Chain A
Amino acid sequence: MPLDLPSPTDFAVPAFVFFVLVEMIYGWKTGRAKFEGKDAFTSLIMGLGSTVSGAITVSITFFVSYWVWENFALFNWGHAAWVFVVAFVLDDLAYYWIHRCGHRSRWMWAAHVIHHSSQHYNLTTALRQTWTSQLTPGALFRWPIFILGIEPGIVFFCAGLNLIYQFWIHTEAIDRMPRWFEAVMNTPSHHRVHHANNPKYLDANYAGVFIIWDKLFGSFVPEDRDEPCRYGLVRDLGTFNPLRVAFHEWWGIVTDMWQAKGLRNKLMFLVAPPGWTPDGSRKTSDMIKAEWRERQASTNSGSIDSPPKGAPQAAE
């Protein structure tokens, strides 16, 4: 009999609404948080749609997860409080790798890109969630936890708590947390870097709750006060239409695969990093970072002129 635990995010919804309102009024009064009406509407609708799509597929997810646990679990961990703590940490580790692959493989990026598609960074951005994560192999990353023997219900409960934790870090209203906290936990500062499209910040800080995973696996980049974050995608979306936002990358994958010559190229358009093309006509994040490093080196050595003074640093 599966463990019957509540869904933490359902209980958190009123708090989400309350804190969005608080940040909005704070931003209006102080200018330290920026909002835009249509952008906020799209983010919130994407959040609602994500809840609906999750509800439609939750039975399949539970069925498959319990099948793995019942048939392949190596140990029986039971339901003690310490199991929840271990599950929370392991789920956060799994989240780190889901998230990292979500940026490094176009198949998973097609679902995750939605969360990065706003040029704003506020608490509504936290709720701009995908409708299509079920179409990616992301769920496989939690199978090792089930095989270790932790019941899926506990893992999904912890994943809900993880998602709630990540809500408050989507803000410009908080500058830095105490040093000890910044060292161990994911914070608004660390996560601003993750959402920035400045070349320096691309593909960094994948953590959910514990930033130590990024430090451990070499993907940590601290926020630099001299390099203000610009938010959004390297190729921003030209729409607020939720349907186009939800499916634009899937459409891109399908058309690229359709037009690609040869099975290898078709597959690469699915699994290679976003921006990959056979002829290099588009740019991956690695290419963008390499070009940026070259420009930095040339600027520092004086072989080219400094960037134009008018070039925007912050979003505009």
Chain B
Amino acid sequence: MDLGLTLGSLVAIIVLALLTAKLFPNTGRLDADRVARNIVRYAPEAQVADVMVDATGNVALAALDAPADCFGLARLLGDRVVCRLLTSADIRKVYKDHARITLVLNDFTQPEITLTMPAATLAQATKLLDGFANREEATHAA
């Protein structure tokens, strides 16, 4: 391995990445339609009932009519959308305060997701997530 070639490559990588960011800036944000379209693209069987986009426009939760026992998560990664259908088994912990919800997930590539929300949306999202926690508890109780 040529050290000069490796260091030269590293410099070229940094220059190319900076140039890319300059020429192709990310201006897109999530909205309800984009989230719903991408959830259906990811899971064609999904029926989206409601979408809650966080204040940054980077993360959203989706309540689903189908499939049962899961909800949708959409996240902007660069200029593309990454989707998941989550069940209670995928969620390790949920932290909430007056403005944020943090989901700790069993997902090696996105172990933690934070949603910043205005009070009304936060209440909606909390209700959605509590529903899953309650269902899990009910399952355990049964």
* CB of A252, distance to nearest CB on chain B (Å): 7
Chain B residues with CB under 8 Å of A20's CB are: 16
Q: Contact: A252 with B108, CB < 8 Å?
A: yes
CB proximity to A under 8 Å, residues B74-128: 75, 77-84, 107-110
A208 on the interface (CB 8 Å rule)? no
Closest 9 pairs (CB-CB, A-B):
A238-B110, A37-B21, A55-B1, A41-B17, A119-B80, A36-B78, A44-B13, A237-B109, A239-B109
Chain B interface (Cβ within 8 Å of chain A)? 1-2, 5-6, 8-10, 12-14, 16-24, 26, 33-34, 36-38, 40-41, 44, 75, 77-84, 107-110
Q: Contact: B1 with A52, CB < 8 Å?
A: yes
Known: A21-B16, A39-B78. A308 touches B40 (CB 8 A): yes
A102 to B115, CA, bound (A): 37
Q: Contact: A315 with B23, CB < 8 Å?
A: no
A244 to B110, CA, bound (A): 9
A55 to B9, CA, bound (A): 15
Range, interface on chain A: 35 or more
Q: Contact: B80 with A36, CB < 8 Å?
A: yes
A310 on the interface (CB 8 Å rule)? yes
Q: Contact: B16 with A44, CB < 8 Å?
A: yes
Chain B residues with CB under 8 Å of A230's CB are: 41
Q: Contact: A244 with B41, CB < 8 Å?
A: no
Q: Contact: B40 with A311, CB < 8 Å?
A: yes
Q: Contact: B80 with A315, CB < 8 Å?
A: yes
Interface of B (DSSP majority class) = helix
* CB of A198, distance to nearest CB on chain B (Å): 10
Chain A residues with CB under 8 Å of B16's CB are: 17, 20-21, 24, 40-41, 44, 124
Q: Contact: A17 with B12, CB < 8 Å?
A: yes
Q: Which of B34, B37, B109 contacts A248 (CB 8 A)?
A: B109
A141 on the interface (CB 8 Å rule)? no
Q: Which of B8, B13, B37 contacts A316 (CB 8 A)?
A: B37
Q: Contact: B41 with A311, CB < 8 Å?
A: yes
A25 to B23, CA, bound (A): 8
Chain A residues with CB under 8 Å of B17's CB are: 37-38, 40-41, 44
A311 to B45, CA, bound (A): 12
A67 on the interface (CB 8 Å rule)? no
Query: With contacts A20-B16, A55-B1, A236-B83 known, what are 18 further pairs, Cβ within 8 A?
Result: A13-B8, A17-B12, A17-B16, A24-B19, A27-B23, A27-B24, A41-B16, A44-B13, A51-B6, A119-B78, A124-B16, A232-B80, A236-B80, A238-B75, A238-B107, A240-B77, A308-B40, A310-B37
Known: A35-B23, A37-B18. A237 touches B82 (CB 8 A): yes
Chain A residues with CB under 8 Å of B83's CB are: 236
A302 on the interface (CB 8 Å rule)? no
Q: Contact: A41 with B13, CB < 8 Å?
A: yes
Known: A24-B20, A308-B40. A238 touches B5 (CB 8 A): no
Chain A residues with CB under 8 Å of B19's CB are: 21, 24
A244 to B82, CA, bound (A): 15
* CB of B2, distance to nearest CB on chain A (Å): 7
* CB of B42, distance to nearest CB on chain A (Å): 8
A62 on the interface (CB 8 Å rule)? no
Known: A37-B18, A316-B34. A13 touches B5 (CB 8 A): yes
